[in-house]
């Protein structure tokens, strides 16, 4: 089985230029006033306002449930258009564009997925702009348009999105989802399209400029993206905050990676991205190869990196030290079990940037740690899942 790696590779070699100047955000009150929604909001939230109207006094939040597909992909259902046409999409912190298959698409991958039809939406607005995105696996080209997007109970109006015209290869044909909804920074958005979360924030539809993610384990239900909310029931202890080092992907600095107290990689520090769209823990090929050898994993005849299931009880944690705090990933997390067969949840991938080779803290890591993506303060919050 080929594991999903949905890291967007758009201009990776120029990651260092993706820095956004810090600007003062508009208040929730300003956003609501400019969009003509303040009066309606005050009627429906009058008991939450108190004597001072601010973000803390009036919390607008919205949860987007996600389906856990074999612990490899997490996707949820959104609606696009009026009336809404439903699509399942990966909520991907490793890319920034929203796109879905369309009736313009002639690729085989579009034949067995839902396709957006602009003629069936009374609110669709066409553009002459094009879109092209390449991921770690799969790619698409298409056109951009505007329409209303229903996501997690939020009505996101005038949202720009991609309508695919080509989806080459077989990967997206077999994908159990239709499209992708990117949640990274706008600086890496193809064609400069405004990401969904930025548009939601600009319209005053959430009161905190952040979103949180909980990913369930063992194919259980309950996975969710929380827009504008941090729910402490999903984690234990307190959140530790990590500054974003480059505002493109959700990129952070890792101090070290150790096993049994010994450095196995990243001894002098390294860069990593926290990516819900990547199934595994990925890192530089040489470093990952060394770790695979250390844990006794080897490639079998089918190309899978197999490991003995009995190793789960004897192997040490992989410990990521981030901003001075240790985040252990136990063997029960980095060894993947399916039908009595075990394989490594590590993947070698060389992604060079001006700040060094990137590590990807994908779903294997995020399942262990409730994660807050804080755009207001350009930081990531991490805490062990409850």
- For the annotated catalytic residues, the residue numbers are 92, 275
242 and 372 Cβ atoms separated by less than 8 Å? no
Strand partners, 131: 142
CA distance linking residue 306 with residue 315, whole number of Å: 15
Q: What are phi and psi of 79, to 5 degrees?
A: -120, 140
- Strand 356-361 to 270-274 pairing: parallel
Count of other CB atoms within 10 angstroms of residue 38: 17
Structure-token match 């009736």, residue found: 103
Instruction: Return the half-sphere exposure (C-beta side, CA atoms, 13 A cut-off) of residue 154.
Output: 27
Q: Can you read off the two tokens belonging to residue 227?
A: 């827009």
Q: Is 314 helix (H, G, I), strand (E, B) or coil?
A: coil
**3-state SS record for 321-385:** EECCEEEEECHHHHEEEECCEEEECEEECCCEECCEEEEEECHHHHCCEEEEEECCCCEEEEEEE
- Smallest Cα–Cα separation from 182: which of 167, 168, 199? 199
Tell me the chain's radius of gyration from C-alpha atoms: 21
The Cα-based distances of 274 to 29, 340, 353, 359, 362 in angstroms read 31, 29, 16, 9, 6
265 and 290 Cβ atoms separated by less than 8 Å? yes
């Amino acid at each position: 089985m080929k594991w999903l790696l949905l890291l967007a590779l758009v201009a990776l070699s120029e990651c260092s230029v993706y820095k956004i100047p810090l600007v003062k955000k508009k208040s929730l009150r300003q956003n609501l006033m400019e969009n003509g929604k303040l009066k309606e909001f005050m009627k429906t939230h009058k008991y939450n306002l108190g004597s001072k109207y601010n973000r803390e006094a009036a919390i607008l939040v919205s949860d987007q449930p996600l389906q856990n597909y074999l612990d490899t992909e997490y996707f949820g259902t959104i609606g696009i258009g009026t009336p809404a046409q439903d699509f399942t999409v990966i909520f991907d912190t490793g890319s920034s564009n929203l796109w879905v298959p369309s009736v313009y698409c002639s690729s085989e991958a579009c034949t067995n997925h839902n396709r957006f039809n602009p003629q069936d939406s009374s609110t669709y607005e066409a553009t002459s702009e094009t879109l092209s995105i390449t991921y770690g696996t799969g790619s698409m080209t298409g056109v951009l348009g505007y329409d209303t997007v229903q996501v997690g109970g939020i009505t996101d109006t005038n949202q720009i999105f991609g309508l695919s015209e080509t989806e080459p290869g077989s990967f997206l044909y077999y994908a159990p989802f239709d499209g992708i909804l990117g949640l990274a920074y706008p600086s890496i958005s193809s064609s400069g399209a405004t990401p969904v979360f930025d548009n939601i924030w600009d319209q005053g539809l959430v009161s905190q400029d952040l979103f949180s993610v909980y990913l369930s384990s063992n194919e259980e239900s309950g996975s969710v993206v929380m827009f504008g909310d941090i729910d402490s029931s999903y984690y234990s202890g307190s959140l530790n905050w990590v500054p974003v080092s480059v505002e493109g992907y959700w990129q952070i600095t890792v101090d070290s990676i150790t096993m049994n107290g010994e450095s196995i990689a990243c001894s002098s520090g390294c860069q990593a991205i926290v990516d819900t769209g990547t199934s595994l823990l990925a890192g530089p090929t040489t470093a990952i190869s060394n770790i695979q050898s250390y844990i006794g994993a080897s490639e079998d005849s089918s190309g899978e990196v197999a490991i003995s299931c009995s190793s789960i009880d004897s192997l040490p944690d992989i410990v990521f030290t981030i901003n001075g705090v240790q985040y252990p990933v136990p063997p029960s997390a980095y060894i993947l079990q399916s039908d009595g067969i075990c394989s490594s949840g590590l993947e070698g991938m060389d992604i060079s940037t001006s700040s060094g080779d990137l590590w990807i803290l994908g779903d294997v890591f995020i399942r262990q740690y409730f994660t807050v993506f804080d755009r207001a303060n350009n930081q990531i919050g991490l805490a062990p899942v409850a």
